[in-house]
Amino acid sequence: MYPRFLDRNYPLAKHLFFVPRYSFGLLGLRFDDAKSQSWISRAWLVFNFVNLAHCCQAEFVFGWHYLRISPVDAMDAFCPLACSATTLFKLAWMWWRRQEVFALMEHIRLLTEQQAKRGDPRKNGVRRSYYLMATCFGMLVFTLGSMTTCAFLLRSLWEMWSRGLAEFKFDMPFRMLFPDFAHRMPWFPLFYLYSTWSGQVTVYAFAGTDGFFFGFTLYVAFLLRSLRVDLQDSLKSIDNATPRDFDLSCQRLANIVDRHNEIAQIVRRFSGIMAAPTFVHFVSASLVIATSVIDILLYSGYNIIRYVVYLFTVSSAIFLYCYGGTEMSTESLSLGEAAYSSEWYGWDRETRRRVYLIILRAQRPITVDVPFFAPSLPVFTAVIKFTGSIVALANTIM
């Protein structure tokens, strides 16, 4: 058995924003009409938010308490705390902007379906590849996040079993400090599950927000690729072109310019929604990657495994941000290159003028505006170098 979305017969339309809809749906957050949401779903969302916020506070208390006693244990708490606190912000942000997110999803759905209805095999092939990539790689982050939670869970079970009954200690799967009664029987199993679930809440909100960003950039890349195909078709050389052919070409170019402007406007709306969580994500991910590497250097044995999985999960998520941003900006620049490489010189003056305007407009690529940077592969390299500098400094101090 394997997930249904991997089936070739799975409807392609359902792949559109599959990861954010599925991940946030598990938390009770649905991007549709708020009036249609049941009170059970709302109560479940409130519980998950309170659970994550409470466990973040417990991790902070643990880290602060052990900061002078055992810096290694304190760092073991602060590393997951950075990711959990960032995810808490993401969850709150996506709930606050849920109506705008839903409107954006529907707008993208409308535009992509318009291109699919034209039946161009070139567009349909690109559409399928981008849709499947958004779903599969988004669910990869989802799976890696769940594996990270399992790694922390197995770590705590192994430690409790290895100590034996004589030195048994009621530890949580994550380094959290609850009231004393929570670390004793009969309340310990309940709080143990409560703490474990906070790890999954982090995974769902983390994967949902990242999947929304990655999917959106790939869907916009598909729309830009469709623009390029239509532009190349509009500027094909025609023998003995008539004034009607010139007028038809001008109309097609005007439509392409309008669609290009609409895509740019959609990306600006998207930037207004995702700029803050993306910036916070990159800052926290840099610290989490650095802290994970430091923890790998400090620990030994099976403890390394959980931080290796954790490091790979966070790195994969930030890579998807950068890859999606690069794919979108590359397709945007390719529009101008396609216009320049076409046979524009064989058309009339008005057509050449419009082609010239398209080339000028495409010189500035469409990117997601985030404070201080735009997600791209060079930024990913810069993040890795920055975290490497932090690790080198910490290793020197230690």
Residue 146 in domain:
yes
The answer to the question of residue 2 being in a domain is: no
Domain that residue 233 falls in:
16-397
Smallest CA-to-CA distance from 174 within 286, 52, 27, 315 is with: 52
Can you spell out the DSSP letters for 161-213? HHHTTTT-----SSS----GGGGSTTTHHHHHHHHHHHHHHHHHHHHHHHHHH
Question: Considering the domain boundaries, does residue 5 fall inside one?
Answer: no
- 217 neighbors 324 (Cβ within 8 angstroms): yes
Measure the CA–CA gap between 356 and 333, rounded to whole angstroms. Answer: 14
pLDDT value at position 301?
Answer: 59
Residue 336: closest CA among 357, 317, 309: 357
Q: Which amino acid is at 238?
A: I
Cβ atoms of residues 329 and 376 within 8 Å = yes
Q: Give the pLDDT of residue 22.
A: 92
Q: What is the pLDDT of residue 370?
A: 85
At 109, is the pLDDT very low, low, confident or very high (cuts 50, 70, 90)? Answer: very high
Predicted pLDDT at 37: 73
- Nearest-angstrom CA–CA distance, 32 and 140: 25
Residue 190 lies in a domain: yes
Query: Average pLDDT of 43-70?
Result: 88
Tell me, what's the pLDDT at 170?
A: 65
pLDDT of residue 398: 56
In tens, the pLDDT along 278-336 reads 998 888 888 788 777 776 666 655 667 777 777 788 888 889 999 999 999 999 989 88
166 in a domain, yes or no? yes
Q: What is the mean pLDDT of residues 57-62?
A: 88
Query: Is there a domain that residue 7 lies in?
Result: no
How many domains does the chain fold into?
1
Write out pLDDT tens, residues 240-257: 667 777 788 788 888 888
370 φ, ψ (degrees, to nearest 5):
-115, 145
Q: Report the SS3 class of residue 43.
A: helix
Q: Which residues contact 323 (CB under 8 A, 6 or more apart)?
A: 214, 377, 380
In whole angstroms, give the CA distance from residue 208 to residue 24. Answer: 6
Mean pLDDT of 14-20: 90
Q: Which residue has the higher pLDDT, 391 or 58?
A: 58
101-110, 203-212, 363-372: segment of lowest average pLDDT: 363-372
- Judge whether 35 lies within some domain: yes
